[in-house]
Amino acid sequence: MNPEFERNLWLELRPGRMIVMTVVLALAFFAAALSQGFFAGPGEVARWGYFIIVVLWGARNAANSVVGEIRAHTWDGQRLSSLSAGTMMWGKLFGSTAFNWFGGAICLVVILAELVQEHGPGVAAIELVYYLAIGVIAQSAALLASLIAAGRRQARTQFEIFLYQATGLAAAVAVYVVWLIADPARSYLLHVERTDVVMWWGLACPAQPFLLLSMALFAGWMLTGCYRQMRLELKMRNGPLVWLAFLLFMGAYVAGFDVWLSGNQALTNLDAVALRLLLAGTVYGTLAYAMVFLEPKDRVRFRWLGSEFGRFHLGTVLANLQGWMMSYLAAQAVGIALIVWLGRASLLQDQAIACAMLGFLTRDMGIVVLTNARKRGGDFTALAVLFLLYALLPAIFASLHLTTGLALFTPRPTDPVWLSPLAGWAEALVVWIVAVAAIALPEERAKPAAA
């Protein structure tokens, strides 16, 4: 058995705790059965119990599995052990949440018994996959957030642990909301009509099987992310192929929902190919923004990549690109393809907006790198600058009725159409010149103490 998982089982599944969990849940189900409508019944109580125990509490334990070791000063010793990254990841993720899954299993028995009685074993099997997926996604998202923070050496306070837990809860809420759309019993909670079909790449896919497969795939990618981040914690190197595969998956998956944009009045000029390129480019740009803030911005790494690029060692450079760099390059490639495709239909204004979006994306990546280059402010300063550029300054210009000047800050259709692309790429050029100069400057040395 996995030694890390076995160690956590001994810590979590103590007989006294298991007896208390079983008794409390049994009393809750018994009270719901006797309440005559005060509660919705044992099944509904079991659902709430599952979400509280597995999703809410389980995400907390998963977020604390590594952070707790860091705070207890035992993590360095574990990192020096002979356990592999996979062994450590599986042991931390499912070992630290073993007690939560014990309570969740009791709740699942009640939920599935009610579903079999009311809807048959087929519906019960589908719901079982859903409940397992939402639990795994919530816990793995919380663990992934904590591992990323640990890599940045930001994993100390209880508030930070709450933020990692909140990441897992946000992932669970997203799964819950999407599943409600295809749930015949609870779709009314979103005030939307239940759908039996999901249109994807022009195919009419049955909603529940499609969403279940999607949840399973995203759970697999979440676990893969935990494994790769654990490798980094154990001072192992990750190659670029897995992230490239994830980019290809995300681009193909999101681009298939082009029919959802077909009714948008602002996009009536775009055909299916343009909409799919727009969706893929948007998701790549979003990943670039997310990863540039999550990943460390190491000046030494940047200098080394620059020196390797200067020696034309392109294979070495490509093999050592960070996730945000690959996401940015993917967004640029898809954006250029979109501009070329729009040119076939002579959609000059749409081409200008796409070109401006690429320019402002390049500018924003440079701002984050620049604010981290001299280690004065870092990501917080970058967020403040972006808030200034996308919110405060546009609000001031709009209040002064300088609508043409808004193209200096955000991509927008203007007259002349060249203003927004020119502004975006000119600002990007200036920012990156300053960023490269800041990276190239030698490290600041501490001043000697006065005698």
- Domain range for 81 is 1-238
In the numeric block, which tokens belong to residue 305? 């990549």
Residue 360 lies in a domain: no
Residue 253 lies in a domain: no
Q: What is the pTM (predicted TM-score) of this model?
A: 0.85
Residue 336 lies in a domain: no
State how many domains the chain has.
1
- Distances 360 to 296, 425, 429 between C-alpha atoms, Å: 22, 7, 10
The C-alpha atoms of residue 414 and residue 405 are separated, in whole angstroms, by 9
Residue 105 lies in a domain: yes
Residue 396 lies in a domain: no
Note down pLDDT in tens along the chain; length 451 residues: 788 888 988 989 999 999 999 999 999 988 888 875 555 788 889 999 999 999 999 999 998 888 888 888 888 788 888 888 899 999 999 999 999 999 999 999 999 998 888 888 888 888 899 999 999 999 999 999 888 888 776 656 677 788 888 989 999 998 888 887 766 555 444 445 566 788 888 888 888 888 889 999 999 999 999 999 999 888 888 888 999 999 999 999 999 988 877 767 667 778 889 999 999 999 999 999 999 988 888 888 888 888 888 888 888 888 888 889 999 999 999 999 999 998 887 788 888 899 999 999 999 999 999 988 876 668 888 999 999 999 898 888 888 888 878 888 888 877 788 888 999 999 999 999 999 998 887 665 544 444 4
Residue 260 lies in a domain: no
Residue 332 lies in a domain: no
Continuous segment of H or E residues that includes residue 204: strand 203-206
Residues 6+ apart with CB under 8 A from 218: 137
416 cis-preceded (ω within 30 degrees of 0): yes
CA 5 to chain CA centroid, nearest Å: 26
Residue 190 lies in a domain: yes
CA 290 to chain CA centroid, nearest Å: 8
The C-alpha atoms of residue 257 and residue 269 are separated, in whole angstroms, by 17
- Half-sphere CA count of 363, side-chain side, radius 13 A: 24
Are 226 and 138 a contacting pair, CB within 8 Å? Answer: no
